[in-house]
A and B are shown apart, each in its own frame.
Chain A
Amino acid sequence: MMASSYNAKEEDGHHSGAVGPGGAGVIKSKKPDNTAFKQQRLPAWQPILTAGTVLPAFFVIGLIFIPIGIGLFVTSNNIKEFEIDYTGVEESSPCYVCSFNYTWNNTTPCQCSIPFSLDQPFESNVFMYYGLSNFYQNHRRYVKSRDDSQLNGDKSSLLNPSKECEPYRSSQGSPIAPCGAIANSLFNDTLELFYNFPNGTSIPIPLVKKGIAWWTDKHVKFRNPGGNNNNLTATFAGTAKPVNWRKPVFELDPSDPDNNGFVNEDFIVWMRTAALPTFRKLYRIIQKKKDNMMPTLPRGNYTLNVTYNYPVRSFEGRKRMILSTISWMGGKNPFLGIAYITVGSVCFFLGVVLLFIHHKYGSRNNNADIPN
């Protein structure tokens, strides 16, 4: 073992007694083994970073990054995105009235509709997002304020939610389901999209609300208590709705029992708290019609009908509706592409500089006679 000689003396008191009969034997030599490991002669790669050695790496990085960057940039550029702010801060905005008057205590929804036009047709599937700004969903206390086991269908947690949910744990004596501040602040605007034909008629665009949540969330993490029980009303009996909600959790989507209660996809999406104070969340998917060659969203005029339920003006928040196609890289973001191109170019340039330095100084290294 290591350092065997170290404590030979230390046990002086012991040594005397540790003497047993027999076993004179051959004295084991203390000579260290002549192995590569013990003599520190393991074969090794010695990376010494000099201009000469790193210069190929720089060129390689440059050569790899620039094409990647161009690819990413093009991909990002091909993504079509449309964004409209419907907060209603300006007086001209159709939702101004709603936003101005609306508070959580209102009982009647406020409606407003915002016209907009798309300059370009949106091919393929279009994802419809709602975006919030200055909304700190990542606040520590806020993030904690949930009960995952309640959301996972645990019956005892349903009736006795985690303390983390305070002060949204119980309301008037009965436990809140779903408890906590995140659920309580569920985004509850309803967005509808209409295509306005040039002739003045408008047709609603079908918005698919299935598949907006992660599969794992929908099928494993979020579960209604009592399993595939269709009678959610009974299941949630004895619980209270979150304070700010209009209707209880089992009425989130009465039309589809698979999208109701805790497994409601809008709810699931909301419960995945956003990392940054400005974020978007997937709201609906506009699926490409399979049969015809028409773009999913043709060029033209549209109307966004908003059922304005979600007040954000108190904290200077903004609400947006975003339409976006999607690529293999996700949403539109030119940053990565530009960054890759920049870094690649810089590397290439540095490669050249290093080449120059290597040419000037490198040969001297080998002679080891650099003047000090």
Chain B
Amino acid sequence: MERLHWVRHRWQQMVGVDVGRGWYSSAAPLSSKSPLDAQEPPAHRLTGKRRTVVARCGPNQSEYHSVCKGYPGNSISTTKYSLLSFIPKNLFEQFHRAANLYFLFLVLLNWVPVVEAFQKEITMIPLAVVLTVIAIKDALEDYRRYCYDQKINNNSTSVYCGKQHEYVDRRWAEVRVGDLVRLCCNEIIPADMVLLHSSDPNGVCHIETANLDGETNLKQREVVRDLPQQGSEFHPENFSSHIECENPNNNLRRFRGYMEHPSKTRVGLHSDNLLLRSCTVRNTETVVGIVVYAGHETKAMQNNSGPRYKRSKMERRLNVDVLWSVVILLLMCLTAAVGHGLWLNSLKDPIYLIPGDPPPALAGFYMFWTMIIVLQVLIPISLYVSIEIVKLGQIYFIQNDLDLYNERLDTGVQCRALNITEDLGQIQYIFSDKTGTLTENRMLFRRCTIAGTEYPHHENARAQELYEEPAAEGGCSNTLRSRTSHRSLSCRSLSCNRSSTSLNTLTRDSDTHSHDDAHPTLTRGAFSSAMECVVVPDPPLQLKLGGLSSPLAPPLKQNAAELSHILDFFLALAVCNTVVVSSPTQPRHMVQLPVPRTPLSTLEDMKLLLQKLSLPRFALTSPTSANAGAQPNTPPQPSLTRRLFARGRSATFTPNTPPDPRHATLAAGATTPPPPPTAPPETSPPSRLALHPHASGDHNTDTDEDDDDESEEEEQRLYEAESPDEAALVQAARAYGFTLLGRSPEQILVQLPGTGPLSVPLLHLLPFNSARKLMSVVVRHPVTGQVVLYTKGADNVVMDLVSSDAAGGDRTGQQALIKEQTQRHLDQYAREGLRTLCVAKRVLEEAEYETWLKGHMSAETCIENREELLLDSAQRIENNLTLLGATGIMDRLQEQVPETIEALQKAGIRVWVLTGDKQETAINIACACRLQRPTDKLLTANCDSKEACEILLAELTEEIRHCEESNGGTDAGAAESPEGAAALGFTLVIDGRTLDWALQPDLEKAFLGLTQRCRSVICCRSTPLQKSQVVKLIRDTLRVMTLAIGDGANDVSMIQVADVGIGISGQEGMQAVMSSDFAISRFKHLKKLLLVHGHWCYMRLANMILYFFYKNVMYVNLLFWYQFFCGFSGSVMTNSWVLIFFNLLFTSAPPLVYGILDKDVSAETLLCIPQIYKSGQDSQAYLPSTFWLSMLDAFYQSLVCFFIPYFAYAGSDIGVLSFGSPINSAALLIILLHQVIESRTLTSLHGVVLIGSAVFYYAFGLVFSVVCVTCNSPTNPYGIELHFMSEPSYYFVSLLTTVVALLPRILIRAFCNTISPSDTVRAGIMDRLRPEEYWTCVSQWKDRLHSKNVQSSRLPPSNLSINADPPHSTDCYPEACSVLS
């Protein structure tokens, strides 16, 4: 079934329905604007921009009828046809395709009496067969969709019914816009709704969007603000607000509108208020929403598009050759037309001419059309269908490759684009993302610098290295879950294992989503590397932090400032993120136990306590610090804090336990069927949780146990982060006691060292944005009560925003010092290949905050330009920051990345790395993954202006040339080729700014010239847009095949632009995968995908296409030669059924098998000797020359195949059809044996198909000649085969013809393969050797290549470094490489 589905889509594409999904059309979303903005026609935007929604059952019924009636209902129908419309509509679609139109034209032509060549029905057969097959596929496919639709439309949900004044169950299909829908936990949302009520006291609800984008982490949605009913029960009757929102669109992450209450106050609506259809409600008991988009207008449905279609390079080449075939056809028809006219002209009233024929000239004209019908086979109708089938087969094999299967994620390759398999074999440039693609994207906190002091975390590094091995292998998490040390906290950050679930949900069948209460725990359990995430605190830092609470060591003044910094730093790490906390034992229920109700009150208590006890002390210091934006002058009273913390500690144990028994039961209920792996015998987390109500009762009596419980509890905590960095940072903070406990839209619950949970009021969250490269939170400081902005972001951005003009010389000096030191540390981190993030804060004055807030609110409620306004607003507040410190996060290389890159480079593929990371980090990774060899010369290009850039490019190019010349200059020309560049080994490192200049039209050329001389190019600090620009530039200017590989949303544009886009299904959601053509799970899979499958697919398809052309030309020419002996009258010597079926039946299966199964070189050899890949890059198998050679061969063979029987039977009493009989059988044998010659592998399957085809032909011929007595005039075959196959001459003629026809090809192949075999042939020969010989051969081959390289790369081992600005020497750090790898 799936296949049908798939073929249908393919067909859609073929018939050209998907006009918009063209070749390069995907570049549009590159712009920072949303795709919708770019694509929406302006007229539409102006007129029908908004929709108004009012509740169906509320007080506004009359308005409802006038406004909302017009919106479509929620029933969906994804079927394309109805019973009635199927035939006309399907035919209409099929005839969108040029080939079908051509054949329809032929059929119609055959109805014109004067040109009629065959019986009318015969010419219709090929077309009818193709149309029928596709129509059947379409029908089945559509029926399947219909069944799906029915199933969905019949789902029930509870909708508020105005008449009955209660919620009643309705079918999904009956839900309408304006309906109020109530959903319970784990229910699927039937339509896009605005959230009006949630059982959660904070007015949030969580949804899982796995059905939409494959991301399984929970997303938080909020009830519309200021809804009057909030908090109490929701009364649908009272809901009378209007909703104004934008018209349906496909942007999942954007929803704009406002709600107007009866009081005329407007509240902005945004995507956080919208529950999307087909998502699942999690963690929230009940929610009520009002439907705003229903049915096909929902975002889910609008995003529901089929797989991607691209046209492969070979297909373009193929179309050219099809045109050539047309030219040949026209030439042949013209010849026949002229010949017929001349022939008729020379005749005078012969008995065999039928009186009343038109004059010669007109007859010649008619003959032209007749010949088009007769020779129609030359244009291969079955070629397109065959190519489709072959590609299906190829994809089937790619997807079934065990080597590309990832055991841990339980996923193989996903082929999302179905028609570019052969492009994999022709890749010349690879553009790779770094993070998550080359590296694991499993972030590990490595080290940090706070207030200018570096904390190297040596222990941490050691621990991580220690666990590297077991982690790589993967084990069982149960042991880890049971009990780890109290100190080193295990992070079971969901980001680690989310990939597994998300992939599963992506690829597994739909039913998994609903039962994930069981499955995800299972999959989660399968992942084990919790130990990897362990952060071992750095002792000095630990000591300093300890000093905070230790009464013994009175801190110095300097120390106090530093301590405050440290506190702020870790608080920022814990707070400044969007991490959602949940527990593994309740997979879809967040740990919200401490947050609600009672804990709140305790927190209030604690706050009071805080104020009572310590604030007087703090108050002395903090106002000053707040005003100055600097550090407190007086140290906090250690003993007091200690006391405070101690008290706080005892106060917090209560909230740890769920006060509401309902929660406990819910939690227990959710985990009632725990699969065995999740329930370790010694400690069973579910039961523990269930026990908590008990514990809450008598916690005071047994504090020790509570301690245990707490640690237990901590270990159960899961951090679901949008990006792995965040999770790593939260983990790091946690290691120092700054634990993030929970999060709600209004507050963040954190635990500071020694304290219990503190509620930090979250005033604002400015989410991460790639333009700002920052994310910030505005919180009210839990201790000081100030409004503080915490920011973390890319170092260069934060460094720029750090205040340099703050008042007070001393502090500025100190800040400057910190900044300088931090910068130094940052550079060092980057050199080590760590990802760096800076953390900064800003203390806001209340008034300042108020003003900003006002502006921000207005920006938020704005419908148009909201993004820009929000950006502005964010920039208004994110400045004048105080630098707190920076972190270094390690991202380990994926396994076998260096080997893969090396192999790809050997295969003649240039690998570029495009990353947003720092230059040093990028160089380091490049070094580690052997993109750049230690002997390579590094060219760095950083400059500030266009002029500088121009000069720099010229200089670098000159430098390379100089180097090449000094190197001997023997292969100056070779430098252009990949091998030449590889031998010389230059690596260009260019940063984003310089890249911007270099990409400008007038510098493009210089840039390209330079890059072509480099072995690899590393673009760092590049934006998504730049990435796609680079790919586009290379692709369009150099006309090469490009491949882009990436894993994150920032790679999407690049993936879409490249000829082949590959997504890595990794940690960062599924966006890259969704936009890719192929999705793999590890970078190393690229090696086999390209070198083996790409090579095979290319060779197979190329050979098959050539064979197809050959076959058609060879067969059709037989008919053409006959025209010379029948007065160019369009006569055929073959039974017309055989003629039509020859292509359609007798010789159609072998090419398919050939195209799917042929294997020129074994996978092992292809992997061992990547150089073989070059044959595909140069399109060696399918060049114009090979096309014409096979045409020539076809001509030769047809000549032989016609003229040997001709001479053998010349002058004899042979009849028309009798003459065709040996010709046909010889042609069949030749065509089949030709394939045997061309095949590199012949399996039993080949044998069956080849012999089957021959047997089928003969059986058909014999049966036909026995059965068909009067049928099929004038080419009635009665008795012919029978008669002729009993004659020996038939066999002698067939044998001689076959041998003579095939002789030249065999001979030439043998000569070529012997005298100068191509790489593929040599590899093929090698494959046939015995193992020991084979390995010597492989090593010999490698040696030879190596020696060649060495010869041409005698280079001075100096490092070349040219920098315009700033002068900056770069080097490759082998030691860092070793650390990384």
Contact = CB atoms under 8 A, between A and B. Distances in A.
Instruction: Indicate, yes or no, whether A interacts with B.
Output: yes
Interface of A: 1-20, 23-24, 27, 29-34, 38-40, 42-55, 57, 61, 65, 68, 72, 104, 129, 131, 135-149, 151-152, 154, 162, 164, 167-168, 181, 184-185, 214, 216-217, 220-221, 244, 272-282, 311-312, 314-315, 317, 328-331, 333, 335-336, 339-340, 343, 346-347, 350, 354, 357-358, 361-362, 365-370
Given A33-B400, A49-B1237, A137 B352 contact: yes
A6 B307 contact: yes
Q: What 4 pairs between A and B have smallest CB-CB spacing?
A: A17-B152, A315-B350, A16-B278, A275-B1219
B376 to A, nearest CB: 16
A217 B392 CA distance: 48
A146 B1274 contact: yes
Contact of B151 (A17, A217, A311): A17
Interface stretch (B354-362, B425-433, B729-737, B1033-1041): B354-362
B303 to A, nearest CB: 7
Contacts of A20: 511, 514
Interface in B1317-1346: 1317, 1321-1322, 1324-1329, 1333, 1337, 1340-1341, 1344
A357 B515 contact: no
B1269 A221 contact: yes
A370 B1216 contact: no
Contacts of A164: 1273-1274
B1340 A68 contact: no
Interface stretch (B52-60, B409-417, B575-583): B409-417
A274 B278 contact: no
Contacts of B1276: 148, 221
A47 B1236 contact: yes
B902 to A, nearest CB: 21
B852 interface: no
A365 B1236 contact: no
Given A2-B3, A314-B350, A31 B407 contact: yes
A277 B400 contact: no
A5 B1127 CA distance: 58
Nearest to A141: B354
Contacts of A40: 397, 1157, 1159, 1163
A329 B2 contact: no
A355 B835 CA distance: 65
Contacts of B416: 6
Contact of B1317 (A275, A277, A314, A365): A365
A135 B352 contact: yes
A142 B1126 CA distance: 11
A19 B510 CA distance: 7
A335 B1296 CA distance: 11
B665 interface: no
A9 B1310 contact: no
21 contacts: A5-B411, A15-B278, A18-B511, A34-B402, A42-B1157, A42-B1244, A44-B1242, A46-B1240, A138-B1129, A139-B353, A140-B117, A141-B353, A168-B354, A280-B1212, A312-B351, A336-B1289, A336-B1292, A361-B1314, A365-B1317, A365-B1322, A369-B1344
Contact of A17 (B155, B411, B1287): B155
B395 A276 contact: no
B1375 interface: no
A40 B356 CA distance: 63
A68 B1279 contact: no
Contact of B1283 (A162, A216, A329): A216
Given A3-B3, A162-B1273, A367-B1337, A315 B351 contact: yes
A2 B2 contact: yes
A209 B1047 CA distance: 87
B76 interface: yes
A281 B1125 contact: no
A2 B6 CA distance: 9
Given A27-B512, A221-B1269, A10 B1310 contact: no
Contact of A5 (B507, B1239, B1313): B507
Interface stretch (B795-803, B913-921, B1298-1306): B1298-1306
Contact of B405 (A32, A357, A365): A32
Contacts of A214: 1279, 1283
B1366 interface: no
Contact of B148 (A11, A42, A65): A11
B441 interface: no
A314 B798 CA distance: 102
Given A27-B508, A216-B1279, 8 more contacts: A2-B6, A3-B399, A15-B278, A38-B400, A143-B1216, A221-B1276, A314-B350, A336-B1296
Given A13-B152, A148-B1270, A365-B1322, A275 B1209 contact: yes
Contact of B1300 (A27, A139, A217, A343): A343
Contacts of A13: 76, 78, 152, 277-278, 298, 300-301, 304
A221 B1279 CA distance: 9
B1215 interface: yes
A146 B354 CA distance: 12
A45 B2 contact: no
A50 B1309 CA distance: 7
B900 interface: no
A9 B1326 CA distance: 43
A1 B1310 contact: no
Given A276-B1219, A314-B349, A367-B1337, A19 B418 contact: no
A142 B1325 contact: no
Contacts of B514: 19-20
Nearest to B1324: A48
Contacts of B507: 5, 8, 30
A314 B348 CA distance: 6
B1340 A357 contact: no
Contacts of B6: 2-3, 6-7
A273 B1212 contact: no
Given A30-B507, A47-B1237, A343-B1296, A6 B1219 contact: no
A140 B352 CA distance: 10
B410 A7 contact: no
Contact of B152 (A7, A14, A277, A361): A14
B941 to A, nearest CB: 35
B1211 interface: yes
Given A220-B1269, A315-B347, A330-B1287, A16 B152 contact: yes
B1306 A331 contact: no
Nearest to A138: B1126
Contact of B188 (A19, A29, A140, A272): A19
B1344 A2 contact: no
B1213 A280 contact: yes
Contacts of A311: 351
Contacts of B1208: 333, 335-336, 339
A289 to B, nearest CB: 25
A48 B1157 CA distance: 16
A168 B353 CA distance: 12
A34 B392 CA distance: 20
A154 B1270 CA distance: 10
Contacts of B1210: 276, 278, 333, 335
Q: Select the residue from A152, A274, A276 with max chain B CB neighbours within 10 A.
A: A276
Nearest to B280: A16
A1 B2 contact: yes
B1240 to A, nearest CB: 6
B64 interface: no
Contacts of A162: 1273
Contacts of B348: 314-315
B510 A368 contact: no
B396 interface: yes
Contacts of A54: 1306-1307, 1309-1310
Contacts of A168: 354
Interface in B509-526: 509-515, 518-519, 522-523
A251 B807 CA distance: 131
